Chain A
Amino acid sequence: MNTLLKLIGFFIAATLIHWGLISVSGSWGLSVNFMLVFAAVICVFVKPEYGYPTAFLCGLFLDFFGVRLFGHQALIFTLCASIVYCLENRLDLDSPVPQLIFIFLLEAAAAVGNLILLKLFTGLSAWNGLLPFVGGLILSTLAAPFVFWAVRRAFTYKAKTY
């Protein structure tokens, strides 16, 4: 129950930050995906029965704004959560540099996955150029250490014992 309440609080905070970031970065032409950073970090620290629904809900949150396709973000987020749970025991995500690299690669994979899904299901290309793509990735990635720090403070590793 305590974990659920914390997750709800974090989810609301994440949506606020995501909205704030896209409001600011949108004027520079960058596409930031803070929700994925949040979902991935949550999956690092909580059990799958909390992590997968959170990732799915975060994806739905982004799908909610989409007009061309509904559900692709939820799928991508679920797959990203699977990647996190598959690799969690093989990666040491305690220090900022591995956190940055891991989130950057995950964000890149998710962005490419999104492009492929949109192309497959709608036939449309969502490619806006290399600069918005890389800029958005970098900006999202830079937030990762802060999210790791905040989530670690709320969810200790004990929460993952099952």
Chain B
Amino acid sequence: MKKQTSYQRKKAASGGRRRKVLPAIFCVLSLFLMILPLEGAVASIKTLLSYIFIPQIRAAHETVEYSKEVSSTIQELLDVHRENEMLKEQLREIQLERDQAREVFLENERLSASLGLQAPLKWRGVWARIAYREPSQWNSVVIDKGAADGIQERSAAIAQQNGKSVLAGVVVEVAENTAKVLLVQDEDFSAVVYATPCGDEGLLTGAGSSLLKMQYLPLFSKVQPGESVYTSAASSVFPAGIFVGNITEIEQGDGFRSSLMARVEPAVTAASMQELFILTREQSK
């Protein structure tokens, strides 16, 4: 067996001492810190430590936040991918329906021509985003398209709600690149509409509230709550057949009891509108 030199023995002994002295020092230091008042000395020590720890805590926090953002971005990408697949499927179905509709439209044109009726024209227009809402009342909105895109005053504005085209309002002011749309809820809005299945026509006006008014319904009309309301061919502004909403209640129309009035719940609310399809007037009627 190899004999230890005196240097090796000393080194081993000092290593053993370190094993006992170091923990003792740190334990005493810890106990000392524990009995110090939290407000005075400890607060000063914490302030000192903050210079060491705060930068890495900040870095750690930013790393965690960044990784959270990355995970949410990945989740968004996955959602977008799934949504994209779903939309592709819907697009294929819509293309099929469009082909069928084209055939029906052509047939309708032929039949209308043979009967001497004016066939309805295709809806043509531009999609516009809502750029600004009136903060005090949401009865009008400003869109990001204007005269430069073919929009004119009294053009019909249509919104999409649950895959259905619904009446949103009418263009009342046009600038070069913007236009103001008066929504159906506004009291100045009016349109000739009819209720189905009863088929009676009335004048739709805004009421300034969430419900619309369908006035001047015939006194003996058989209109019932729940019936759907569409724009009529008699309207000078709106093409026929745009869905407006559903009737919620029937009231006596005026003091003379000469007509009925129906309350109509609009299919689209001002808050839910994001984009509008503005019909260019030459082709809308």
Partners in one complex: yes
Which residues in A have some Cβ–Cβ distance to B below 8 Å?
12, 15-16, 18-20, 23, 48-49, 52-53, 55-56, 59-61, 63-64, 67, 69-72, 74-75, 78-79, 81-82, 85, 117, 121, 162
Chain B residues near A81 (CB-CB < 8 A): 23
Assuming the contacts A56-B29, A56-B30, A70-B33, asked whether A16 and B23 have C-beta atoms less than 8 A apart, the reply is no
Query: A74 contacts which chain B residues (CB < 8 A)?
Result: 26, 29-30, 33
Q: How many A-B residue pairs have CB under 8 A?
A: 87
Given pairs A16-B59, A74-B26, 6 additional interface contacts (CB within 8 A): A18-B60, A70-B34, A74-B29, A74-B30, A121-B34, A162-B11
- Asked if A70 and B23 sit within 8 Å, CB to CB, the answer is no
Question: In the bound complex, do residue B30 and residue A82 qualify as a contact, i.e. CB atoms below 8 Å apart?
Answer: no
Q: B42–A70 contact, CB under 8 A?
A: yes
* Contact partner, A20, options B15, B19, B50, B67, Cβ 8 Å: B67
A-chain residues with CB within 8 Å of residue B36 when the two chains form the complex: 70-71
Cα–Cα distance between A16 and B36 once the two chains are bound (Å) = 29
Asked whether B49 lies within 8 Å of A49 as measured between CB atoms, the reply is: no
| A-B contact list, 11 entries, CB within 8 Å | A19-B57, A23-B61, A52-B26, A55-B26, A60-B49, A64-B49, A64-B53, A75-B31, A78-B30, A79-B23, A117-B34
> Are B30 and A16 within 8 A (Cβ)?
no
Min CB distance, B63 to chain A, in Å?
6
Residues of A within 8 A of B59 (CB): 12, 16
Residue of B nearest to A15 (CB): B56
Look across to chain B and name the residue whose beta carbon is closest to the beta carbon of A52.
B22
- Per-residue CB contact flags for chain B residues 214-242 toward chain A (1 = under 8 Å, else 0) read 00000000000000000000000000000
Interface status of B113 (Cβ within 8 A of chain A):
no
Q: Is the CB of A70 within 8 A of B46?
A: yes
User: Which residues of A have CB within 8 Å of B61?
Assistant: 19, 23
Please tell me the number of chain B residues within 8 Å of chain A, measured between CB atoms. 30
For residue A83, give the distance in angstroms from its CB to the closest CB of chain B.
10
A23 adjacent to B64 (CB under 8 Å): yes
Q: Name B25's closest neighbour in chain A (CB-CB).
A: A52
A82 to B36, CA, bound (A): 24
A19-B57, A82-B23 given as contacts; is B30 within 8 A of A75 (CB)? Answer: yes
Contact, CB under 8 Å: A49 / B34: no
What are the residues of chain B within 8 A of A64 when measuring CB–CB? 46, 49-50, 53
A71 touches B34 (CB 8 A): yes
Contacts of B64 in A (CB 8 A): 19-20, 23
Interface string of B8-26 (1 = CB under 8 A from A): 0001000100110011001
Question: Is B38 an interface position by the 8 A CB rule?
Answer: yes
Q: Which residue of B lies closest to A18 (CB)?
A: B60
Establish whether residues B34 and A72, one from each chain, have CB atoms under 8 Å apart when the complex forms. Answer: yes
Q: A12-B56, A78-B26 are in contact. Are A70 and B32 (CB under 8 A)?
A: no
* Cα distance A17–B51 in the bound complex, in angstroms: 20
Beyond A61-B53, A70-B46, whether A78 also contacts B27 by CB under 8 A is yes
- From B18, B34, B49, B50, residue with most partner A Cβ within 10 Å: B34
Query: Are B30 and A71 touching (Cβ within 8 A)?
Result: yes
Q: How distant is B30 from chain A, measured CB to nearest CB, in Å?
A: 3
How many Å lie between the Cα of A66 and that of B67 in the bound state?
Answer: 26
Report whether A71 and B15 are in contact in the complex, using a CB–CB cutoff of 8 Å.
no
